[in-house]
Amino acid sequence: MVSDIVGVLSWRDELGALQARLGRLFVRAEPRRQAGLYLEGLLSSAKRKNGWQLAEQIGDARPWRTQRVLSHVLWDADAARDLCRDHVLEHLGADDGVLIVDETGFLKKGEHSVGVARQYSGTAGRIENAQIGVFLAYASSKGHALIDRELYLPRKEWCEDRGRRAEASIPEEVGFSTKPILAGRMIQRALDAGLPCAWVLGDEVYGSDRRLRIALEQRQQPFVLAIRRNEKLWAVLDGHLGQHAASRLAARLPAQAWRRLSAGAGSKGERVYDWARFRLTRLQQPPWDHWLLVRRSRKNPKDLAYYVVFGPDQATLATLARVAGRRWAIEECFEVAKQEVGLADYEIRSWHGWYRHITLAMLALAFLAGMRAKLNAAPRQKRGPATPTSGRPQHRRDPPSHQRPPARRWRRARPPLRMVSLAPHTPGHR
């Protein structure tokens, strides 16, 4: 849902300050100005944020100058990524913050855009011709936004095809990396940057990667990661230590282990499920512990979801249920970013072009999230009671139409920016 809050906050000053920080990444004045206008265009009310519509929005007759910012001008997209992360930390950083990793698909018709291939896309829910981006989001009680991104390159179609690599300007040092490896790099960057992070969250693609889980344990970083039902976990069952499938451990949970708990609020109220946990056996000692966390649908008891948990040994089952439910904040980030700041509206094919557009769209989303946090934190002024001039209520009547002054016509060079509501909605399964 989009609402116009121009005048509620000094959004123009805030945007100007962010544009100035972005401008430090450019040597020349012209691309510096154009990058700032590009960011402003992504925040505008234009329905699509492609080259021609953005050019029209920012007052250019042709899109060439903007396209050069994404393709030819020298600037560091990773430095802009760090700027995005720092902006999120400044406005949304909190002790209850969590890092969430997930992927999203960008459907494409051709075969020349970097990373495009026939592959499964959660966006489409099937195998499609698409690019896949792996993203990291930060969420706290103040809001949520995307802070990092990596493009997944299929091994055969791209990493091993030197011709396509050269055509898309993929750097020589970039090789094949699985999605969990890409996620691990982003998580490491965020933690090294000092983001306050209580938990790391992710779906089965990332939770089923043991190397990622071990890396987080070594940093003593708590996590709640979804896993597949056949994931083998170390546990004591029937007095014997061994590796057992998550579904088998869940089947041995007694009836009294289950509790009906909320996974957090949605647009239709609390999201309530049945939850239980099974203690796992690992080498970590107190104050840390490991569990298999199981979520069961109230409507269909056979509908189970599984999570592997590493966290403080004092963590309650209710706490773990709430943490597991926070993973859907990244889905909201994807939805808002694609609908409002043009995350998927690019028309570029190169490696550098993809990273630059995606990073600027993330920066626009971070700006919206920061403004929303400031709006929510601002004290609300209460209206005082009306004071009529007499004892009777005074009813204001509009003058006849022929007595009204002519309406003033305001001319704008560009439509005003419009703020995005980041209020939670009921999440859905992909």
DSSP 224-249: EEEE-TT-EEEEEETTEEEEEEHHHH
8 Å CB contact between 41 and 67: no
Q: Is residue 340 part of a domain?
A: yes
Q: Using alpha carbons only, how large is the chain's radius of gyration in Å?
A: 25
pLDDT for 289 equals 95
139: β partners: 98, 144
Please report which confidence band the pLDDT of residue 381 belongs to, taking 50, 70 and 90 as the band edges: low
pLDDT at 285 over 50: yes
Please report which confidence band the pLDDT of residue 380 belongs to, taking 50, 70 and 90 as the band edges: low
pLDDT at 369 over 80: yes
- Percentage of the chain lying above the pLDDT 90 cut: 69
**pLDDT mean across residues, the chain:** 86
Q: Is residue 278 part of a domain?
A: no
pLDDT at 131 over 50: yes
Is omega for the bond preceding 287 within 30 degrees of 0, making it cis? yes
pLDDT in tens, 148-191: 999 999 999 999 999 999 999 999 999 999 999 999 999 999 99
pLDDT at 400 over 70: no
pLDDT for 7 equals 47
Q: Which residues contact 205 (CB under 8 A, 6 or more apart)?
A: 103, 179, 180
Residue 306 and residue 249: Cα distance in Å, rounded?
Answer: 10
Q: Is residue 295 part of a domain?
A: no
Count of domains observed in the chain? 1
The closest alpha carbon to 104, from 132, 126, 127, belongs to 132
Q: Which long-range contacts (CB under 8 A, 24 or more apart) does 289-294 make?
A: 289/313, 289/315, 291/320, 292/233, 292/235, 292/246, 292/249, 292/250, 293/224, 293/320, 293/321, 293/324, 294/246, 294/250, 294/253
Please give the residue that has the higher pLDDT: either 97 or 124.
97
Q: Is residue 275 part of a domain?
A: no
pLDDT in tens, 84-116: 999 999 999 999 999 999 999 999 988 899 999
Q: Exposure string (b/e) for 92-108, b if CB count within 10 Å is 16 or more? A: bbbeebbbbbbbbbbeb
Q: Is residue 148 part of a domain?
A: yes
Q: Which domain holds residue 179?
A: 2-222+315-376
Residue 275 and residue 259: Cα distance in Å, rounded?
Answer: 5
pLDDT at 377 over 70: yes
Residue 275 and residue 296: Cα distance in Å, rounded?
Answer: 6
H-helix or E-strand spanning residue 366 = helix 351-377
pLDDT at 13 over 80: yes
Residue 197 per-residue DSSP state: -
Q: Is residue 303 part of a domain?
A: no
Among 58-62, 257-261, 319-323, the range scoring the smallest mean pLDDT is 58-62
Q: Is residue 405 part of a domain?
A: no
Residue 156 per-residue DSSP state: I
Q: Is residue 413 part of a domain?
A: no
